[in-house]
């Protein structure tokens, strides 16, 4: 179990500095919110689909949209009734159902949500979690906060294993008496869930003092200089990445202002 | 002596937050019912958030309640919701735990705390949803979020009492 959505690869986006990638992501998300021109939004979305296809493979370009298609359908259906200005395009029993403003608002929402989804998908597919946390650290995230996130990520697979072991043990204990159809199976699952959750929580809570002691014995809280297993390159070593990020941001801003 | 105590408190707090973040992520990920149209599924993450709020206090609930579901969103491919999830679930746990702390052992404390957490979470998701997908689609999710919160409040309450009974030292981990 890996608690991220990183897809290993070697494309240009993998080599791009995570700090610059994070800045570009924030700017693009902001652009999707402030931009009102539909062609610009559609253009940005097309760029992200193209980048996803070239970085992760053509098959991956559709993945984010497979995950969000229900909300896209809902947005398309439910946005127009809340925007009834403009020319009436469709009416039902004399009441306007679809207007030009409603259609435009739905298209804007669809492009915005699709664009943000594609941008986040591309970022987390091409950025390792450790690089993401290091990028946050270099932008001022405190050491203790970064350590907490790192330990959490380290413990997630352990907690999944604990849940699996306890769940299997509970199933084994009740295997002989639990017979029945699908409905009984669902009821049985619900009835068995809470004892499993209680056992998982007790196991988890009991591991807290042990983890605290391990942190203490590893020297947590000492004042002497700390070493790091992995570091991001110094700012001076990523000048091409900084220039690239600046170009992307400037170009997007220019297009937004121009159109 | 005082330094040692402070150091141990800091490591204990980090350990509690990290472990409860992992637990919240697992609860969010393990039981998923694909109903809620905008976020894909409802889950037991709220059970873990309310358990943390009732058992560990506001700060652990704020951070682990926000981080756990946000990591689950990223892992499940819904990373565009992660910032909203972080704020909504973190403040949900924080609000619930603050009310528990203010009202002490009164009988109405836990239902009121749950209600406050529910209002915060549902309100923030609605607000975030309005910006992301528009009012029409965002409002569809409200009943599902209320249902998820109701399960979370009852589940969190039952689990908190059960765990405190089975493992009394857990009370010392609250801060």
Residue A159 has pLDDT above 50, yes or no: yes
**What mean pLDDT comes out for the span B42-56?**
91
**Closest of B125, B16, B116, B112 to residue B64, by C-alpha:** B16
User: Cβ contact (<8 Å) for A156 and B26?
Assistant: yes
Q: What is the pLDDT of residues A50-95, one digit of tens each?
A: 999 998 888 888 888 888 888 888 889 888 888 888 888 888 888 8
Q: CA-CA distance, A140 to A26, in Å (whole number)?
A: 16
Q: What is the pLDDT of residues B73-126, one digit of tens each?
A: 888 778 888 999 999 999 999 999 999 999 877 788 889 999 999 999 999 999
For residue B170, give the nearest of A71, A120, A205 by CB distance: A205
Best of A22, A34, A35, A75 to disrupt the B interface (most B CBs within 10 Å) is A75
Domain total of chain B: 1
For residue B51, give the nearest of A70, A155, A201 by CB distance: A201
- What pLDDT was estimated at residue A58? 85
Q: What is the percent of chain A with per-residue pLDDT over 90, rounded to a whole number?
A: 31
Q: Are strands B32-33 and B42-43 parallel, antiparallel or unpaired?
A: antiparallel
User: Cβ contact (<8 Å) for B12 and A212?
Assistant: yes
Indicate yes or no: pTM above 0.90. Answer: no
- Tell me the shortest Cα–Cα distance from A60 to chain B, in angstroms: 12
Q: What is the pLDDT of residues A95-149, one digit of tens each?
A: 888 889 889 999 999 999 999 989 999 999 999 888 998 999 999 999 889 889 9
User: Are residues A116 and B80 in contact, defined by beta-carbon separation less than 8 angstroms?
Assistant: yes
Best of B70, B79, B130, B140 to disrupt the A interface (most A CBs within 10 Å) is B79
ipTM associated with this complex: 0.89
Best of A21, A159, A186, A190 to disrupt the B interface (most B CBs within 10 Å) is A159
- What pLDDT was estimated at residue B4? 43
- Tell me the shortest Cα–Cα distance from B117 to chain A, in angstroms: 21
Q: CA-CA distance, B46 to B30, in Å (whole number)?
A: 13
**Between A235 and A191, whose confidence is greater?**
A235
Q: CA-CA distance, A159 to A164, in Å (whole number)?
A: 8
Q: Which residues of B touch A2 (CB under 8 A)?
A: 75
* The CA-based dihedral angle spanning residues A56, A61, A64, A66, taken in that order and rounded to the nearest 10 degrees: -130
User: Are residues B110 and B161 in contact, defined by beta-carbon separation less than 8 angstroms?
Assistant: no
| Enclosing domain of residue B14 | 2-173
CATH number at residue B104: 1.10.1760.20
Residue B36 has pLDDT above 70, yes or no: no
For the residues of A27-94, what is the DSSP string, one character each? HHHHHHHH---HHHHHHHHHHHHHHHHHHH-GGGGGHHHHHHHHHHHHHHHHSGGG---S-EEEEETT
User: Cβ contact (<8 Å) for B21 and A148?
Assistant: yes
Would you state the structure tokens that stand for residue B9, as one six-digit string? 């408190």
């Amino acid at each position: 179990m890996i608690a991220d959505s990183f897809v290993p690869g070697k494309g240009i986006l993998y080599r791009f500095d995570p700090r610059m990638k994070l800045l570009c992501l924030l700017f693009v998300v902001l652009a999707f919110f402030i931009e009102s021109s539909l062609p610009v939004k559609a253009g940005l979305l097309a760029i992200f689909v193209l980048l996803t296809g070239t970085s992760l493979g053509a098959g991956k370009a559709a993945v984010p949209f497979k995950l969000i298609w229900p909300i896209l359908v809902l947005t398309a259906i439910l946005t127009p009734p809340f925007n009834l200005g403009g020319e009436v395009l469709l009416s039902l029993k004399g009441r306007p159902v679809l207007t030009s403003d409603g259609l435009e608002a739905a298209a804007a929402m669809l492009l915005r949500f699709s664009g943000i989804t594609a941008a986040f998908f591309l970022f987390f597919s091409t950025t390792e979690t450790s690089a993401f946390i290091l990028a946050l650290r270099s932008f001022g995230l405190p050491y203790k906060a970064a350590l907490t996130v790192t330990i959490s990520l380290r413990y997630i697979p352990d907690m999944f294993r604990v849940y699996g072991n306890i769940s299997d043990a509970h199933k084994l204990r009740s295997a002989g008496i639990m017979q029945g159809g699908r409905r009984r199976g669902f009821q049985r699952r619900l009835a068995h869930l809470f004892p499993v959750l209680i056992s998982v929580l007790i196991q988890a809570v009991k591991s807290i003092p042990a983890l605290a002691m391990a942190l203490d014995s590893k020297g947590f809280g000492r004042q002497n200089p700390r070493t790091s297993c992995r570091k991001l390159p110094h700012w001076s070593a990523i000048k091409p990445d900084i220039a690239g990020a600046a170009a992307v941001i400037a170009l997007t801003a220019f297009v937004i202002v121009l159109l | 002596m005082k330094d040692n105590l402070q150091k141990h408190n800091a490591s204990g707090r980090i350990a509690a937050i990290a472990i409860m973040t992992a637990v919240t992520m697992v609860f969010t990920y393990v039981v998923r019912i694909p109903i809620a149209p905008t976020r894909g599924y409802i889950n037991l993450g709220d059970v873990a958030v309310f358990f943390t709020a009732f058992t560990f206090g506001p700060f652990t609930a704020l951070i682990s309640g926000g981080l756990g579901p946000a990591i689950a969103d990223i892992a499940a491919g819904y990373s565009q919701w992660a910032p909203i999830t972080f704020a909504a679930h973190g403040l949900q746990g924080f609000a619930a735990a603050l009310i528990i702390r203010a009202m002490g052992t009164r009988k109405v404390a836990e239902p009121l705390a749950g209600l406050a957490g529910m209002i915060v979470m549902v309100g923030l998701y609605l607000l975030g949803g309005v910006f992301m997908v528009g009012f029409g689609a965002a409002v569809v999710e409200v009943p599902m979020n209320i249902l998820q919160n109701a399960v979370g409040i009852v589940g969190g309450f039952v689990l908190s009492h059960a765990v405190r009974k089975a493992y009394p030292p857990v009370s010392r981990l609250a801060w």
